[in-house]
Amino acid sequence: MRHFLPGALLITVLLPAFANDNTPAPQHLEPPFWWAGMAEPQLQLLVHAPAIAGSKPELHYPGVRLLKTETLPNPNYLVLTLQLAPTVRPGGFEIRFRDQATGRLRYQYPYRLLQREPQSAQRQGFGAQDVILNLVPDRFANGNPDNDRIAGYADHVDRSDDGGARHGGDIAGIRAHLDYIQRMGYTMIWPTPMLENNLPRYSYHGYAATDLYRIDPRFGSNEDYRQLVQAARQRGIGMIQDVVLNHIGSHHWWMQDMPAPDWLGFQGKFVPTRHARTTLSDRYAAAADRENFSYGWFTDTMPDLNQRNPVLATYQIQNTIWWIEYAGLSGLRVDTYSYSDPAFLARWSASILREYPHFSMVGEEWSTQPLVVARWLRGYRNPDGYRSSMPAMMDFPMQDVLRQAFSSNESWNSGFNSLYEALVADQLYPQPERMVLFDGNHDISRIYSVFDKDAALVKMALAYIATIPRTPQLYYGTEILMESRKERDDGAARRDFPGGWAEDKVNAFTGAGLSEAQQNMQRYVARLLNWRKTANAVHKGHMLHFSPEDGIYCYFRILGKQTVMVILNKNTESRELALARFTEGIGKRTKASDVMDGRQFRLAETLALPARSATILELE
């Protein structure tokens, strides 16, 4: 299938190239176009067409030189490496492929070097000043029912099936509700992957890509995605793309015509991973276990990619850069980060930051051990000398402690004390404020259900996530107390957001049909997140915390003259908190205002704390 840049402008430019010329294009040529002025001067093109290895490529364009041509074990592939001069200008040229024996023109492709957007390389990523919304596009809102069924895609819409069927949510649905997302106070959106997943079933989640350069048409088009990013940016919201480096889907077009025997882990044989995450750092680990972790397959429908193959490694690096540049992304969330080849990950992360020095990326390392997570962070000194360029990782260790702390009884080694002690791990993180702490995501049970439907505990946990030195991420539906099962159940945790479908009787976007408790939580989250946008002490300030006592945990965020005081009271009754102990944080300040309701307080000897509450004060 030929890839073109979506949009009428480019189509009108490209069509004349084929006028009066029946020479076919290759089935695939990727990346399908590129940009002038990138930091990396070499561009690799993976070309796929019948017996193309027997062809000699040629091109002529000022500032572009064909540096080398490589064949792969499969003769239907050819790899071109172009050298782009620093002075190369945007424009187009033909790449022709002539039969080496006869000189006959077999294929041609109209390649384009595009103009980059101004300051593209200097784009700013996300950080502690932001709050990220994680949503599952298929389950958020159906803005275009016409794309629910697409010819050639077997997995159709069935909303009665929470487990594996598609429900019809799409890019148009997200775009239609950007005002809601903005009103709630989110500044970044992380949708689960939207690349093509053309599988017979269970394609909605997006983690088994079948084309790495195409948005799944049941979500929309490449151009729809780019316009969504632009529309979000106009509202002060950035887009984080969910990237899967470790594996592809079993129906990816590579699987029909494998480029090389070593393109996949274990030579294309299904060997399941044992998920032994510690093997890469464990000095006692067997080499076979390390090999299994990096190259074993998640499932037989998710073939594991072998990034020790240099052509594949470069392909994946360029694919990531292509989407950043094309769509105008603000960041990346990298799925199953540690499962990929470690040397490749170091190269990949460094390559992205070479092109975009201020960009943000966060990796998924689903481990509750801070040492395992810290291995992948930029600036962390690994005993084995491994060096990464990843700015941040998902904070699974703290997320795990948080859920236990708020749902367990208070004692010397549980409840708030475990939360307090968990922060000692921040000495392992070069920039703890960039670590992404989350209430939930698409892979775990919803926090409201974990907390036995105690909305007060949810509020306290969200206040904690929003005010410690982290980059917060919330899961869609938390703000309206959406439920799941306590144990993992993906279908239950990814239920449809009410109001995203025309037939829904409850509409969370407008508030119609929500219970009083749901409306109360929705208002709470919106107030908390919108206040947080201007809370510089929370974004950049030093944290000072005091060991919990009697179910009360108090801490401060301090930046110059700005001080935020947070008091969590997990008790089921109100308490009077003696303030003398907290003089180090309060200083000589005598007044404070509650950021949630504007109430004014005098900081005298005690402070009244409502039962089951988070009190957030700005000290004056």
- Structural contact between residues 507 and 499, judged by C-beta atoms closer than 8 angstroms: yes
- The angle that helices 310-327 and 342-355 make with each other, rounded to 10 degrees, is 30
Say what the pLDDT of residue 1 is: 36
- Structural contact between residues 391 and 361, judged by C-beta atoms closer than 8 angstroms: yes
Whether 335 is catalytic is yes
Cis, peptide link before residue 31, omega less than 30° from 0: yes
Q: Mean pLDDT, to the nearest integer, of 310-316?
A: 98
Catalytic residue among 30, 196, 242, 335: 335
Q: Where are the alpha helices (DSSP H) in 332-425?
A: 342-355, 370-374, 396-407, 416-422
Say what the pLDDT of residue 17 is: 40
User: What are the tens digits of pLDDT across the range 475-489?
Assistant: 999 999 999 999 999
User: What are the tens digits of pLDDT across the range 572-619?
Assistant: 999 999 999 999 999 999 999 999 999 999 998 999 999 999 999 999
Domains of the chain: 8-116 (2.60.40.10), 122-533 (3.20.20.80), 541-619 (2.60.40.1180)
User: What are the tens digits of pLDDT across the range 268-308?
Assistant: 999 999 999 999 999 999 999 999 999 999 999 999 999 99
Length of the chain, in residues: 620
Catalytic residue among 304, 364, 365, 433: 364
Say what the pLDDT of residue 134 is: 98
- Structural contact between residues 460 and 612, judged by C-beta atoms closer than 8 angstroms: yes
318 has a pLDDT exceeding 70:
yes
User: What are the tens digits of pLDDT across the range 485-510?
Assistant: 999 999 999 999 999 999 999 999 99
Whether 364 is catalytic is yes
HSE-up of residue 514 (Cα within 13 Å, Cβ side): 22
3 has a pLDDT exceeding 50:
no
183 has a pLDDT exceeding 90:
yes
11 has a pLDDT exceeding 80:
no
CA distance 218 to 212: 15
263 has a pLDDT exceeding 50:
yes
**pLDDT band, residue 374 (cuts 50/70/90):** very high
User: What are the tens digits of pLDDT across the range 518-539?
Assistant: 999 999 999 999 999 999 999 9
Say what the pLDDT of residue 193 is: 98
| Averaged pLDDT score across all residues of the chain | 95
Q: Mean pLDDT, to the nearest integer, of 544-563?
A: 97
Q: Mean pLDDT, to the nearest integer, of 119-131?
A: 97
User: What are the tens digits of pLDDT across the range 55-111?
Assistant: 999 999 999 999 999 999 999 999 999 999 999 999 999 999 999 999 999 999 999
Unique residue bearing structure tokens 């974990």: 450
Say what the pLDDT of residue 16 is: 35
